[in-house]
Amino acid sequence: MTQLSSIDYSIPEVAAELERGPKWLRDRRKLSRDAFNRTPVPPRGLHLWRYTDPMRFLFERGSVSDSAFDRDKDAVHQLGARYLRDGHLSAFVSDLAGRDVQIQTTEELTARSVVVSPLSEAVDQHRELVELYLYQLINQQTGKFEAMNGALWNDGIFVYVPNNTVVEQPIHLLREAGQAHSAQFPRLLVVVGKNAELTLIDEYSGGSTSTDDGITYSNGAVEIFGMQESRIRYVSVQRQAPGVQSYLTHRARIERGATMLTIPLAFGAAISKQNFGVIMNGPSADSKMYGLLFGTDHQQFDNHTLHHHAHGHTTSNIDFKVVLGDKATSAYTGLIRIDHNAEFCEAYQENRNLLLNPGTRADSIPELEILNEEVTCTHGATVGPIDPMQLFYLNSRGIHKPEAVRMVVSGFVASTLKMVSDDLRERITQIVEQRLEAI
């Protein structure tokens, strides 16, 4: 199989993507295309590429196709209707391989002028907002794979919450990946107005069930903007099938007095490389990130987080937890950046890695770029197996060893799950328990 080395018009489907949308968008796509073609594949020693082979995210030439999604679409839509009914949601969006976006919302949401729309429609209907914000945080300068998404995203999702509007129930986005030998580029743009409130669940699932049957390539980009005093909760759940090679870049920027809670959860895919970043751009902006990944088999995870204090008097906290079984590996790189003029910031970062098996491996790389001296900043990392004394304590009360392991791990992840709303917590707990049964 030939990997795609340049985005050009020799593939009709690629040509069609590049010509999609109004002129301003086509121009932006071409900037991204040129950047992708110009940028060499990152060498393995390069920052953030030490642990993952970039070739794994260059998809096969034939894999951009409008027929990427061959599953029963009705089934996904019915699932959405059920989620909407039982899940106490204000909207459910199904995004089939970045090509077919279906939206179900409550009337209440529409009445309050909240926009939940396919991105392909929003580029016309909400042009001012989309043109202003799309590509602002993730664009051709971010990196080769971000440029790839920038050129080829087909459809995506646009969410806009007007000023002073509180969306009480979560909006749930389900991004179903396409079949084996397909590539998709999901994109999400979220703009939350002043003093507005939003909870967003962004769930990535589906795709090839085994790399032996062929690979599903997924390359996503998420941009979130929180205006002054806004309150945003964003939960990302990656539970793609074992034949997916998954890449995701997330950037959020929040203004004065805004709070952002980001919960990145990763359980699926053969390889998963994710980069979550929040920029605090005004005084009293506060970002909290509670991450959890749980790997088994030969899964490979490479996660980055960024907390960028671009303004003084901002606060951030990261707690990123990793559980690995079988032969799974993880590398976590956590960067705290405090700008030169950003005084009196507070930044905390913790990364804990629990290894359930001697065949696992976890690397933890804290990075600090602190250009101002008037700050409080701490970071910590631990990597190790379950404390045998904890197991003995549970055993001494009659609890069998596998059950004792299960209890310690669920205890380890409990503080992260506590941050998630009840209905979602139940489902994530199920995923964690399925993982544990497989050990």
CA distance 329 to 298: 7
Q: For the window 330-369, what string marks contact with another protein as x by the rule CB under 8 A? A: ----------------------------------------
| Contacting residue, 310, 368, 408, 439, with another protein by CB under 8 A | 408
Residue 407 sits in the site that holds another protein (CB under 8 A):
yes
**179 closest CA partner among 140, 216, 135, 211:** 216
Q: How far is the CB of 392 from another protein (least distance, A)?
A: 6
Residue 385 sits in the site that holds another protein (CB under 8 A):
no
- 8-state DSSP, 439: -
**418 closest CA partner among 253, 290, 312, 307:** 290
CA distance 87 to 64: 34
Distance of CA 129 to the CA centre of its chain: 22
| Contacting residue, 394, 405, 432, 436, with another protein by CB under 8 A | 394
- 8-state DSSP, 254: E
| Contacting residue, 40, 72, 389, 437, with another protein by CB under 8 A | 389
- 8-state DSSP, 372: -
Q: How far is the CB of 400 from another protein (least distance, A)?
A: 6
Local structure of 172: helix, strand or coil: strand
Q: In terms of CB distance, is 15 or 408 closer to another protein? A: 408
Cα distances (angstroms) measured from residue 343 to each of 86, 228, 278, 375: 46, 19, 18, 6
- Count of residues in contact with another protein, rule CB under 8 A: 24
Residue 396 sits in the site that holds another protein (CB under 8 A):
yes
Q: What is the CA radius of gyration of the chain?
A: 21
Q: Burial letters for 23-61: b for 16+ Cβ neighbours within 10 Å, e otherwise?
A: eebeebbbbbbebbeebebbeeeeebbebbebebbbbbe
Q: In terms of CB distance, is 111 or 389 closer to another protein? A: 389
Q: In terms of CB distance, is 166 or 414 closer to another protein? A: 414
> What residue spans of 270-322 are helical by DSSP H?
none
Q: In terms of CB distance, is 403 or 433 closer to another protein? A: 403
Q: How far is the CB of 426 from another protein (least distance, A)?
A: 15
Q: How far is the CB of 352 from another protein (least distance, A)?
A: 11
Residue 429 sits in the site that holds another protein (CB under 8 A):
no
| Contacting residue, 42, 412, 419, 439, with another protein by CB under 8 A | 412
Cα distances (angstroms) measured from residue 267 to each of 70, 209, 241, 270, 295: 24, 14, 9, 10, 6
Residue 397 sits in the site that holds another protein (CB under 8 A):
yes
| Candidate ranges 152-160, 249-257, 290-298, 387-395; the one touching another protein (CB under 8 A) | 387-395
User: Exposure of 418 by Cβ count < 10 A (0-12 exposed, 13-18 middle, 19+ buried)?
Assistant: exposed
Q: In terms of CB distance, is 12 or 398 closer to another protein? A: 398
| Contacting residue, 19, 27, 124, 403, with another protein by CB under 8 A | 403
Chain residues binding another protein by CB under 8 A are: 387-390, 392-401, 403-404, 407-408, 410-415
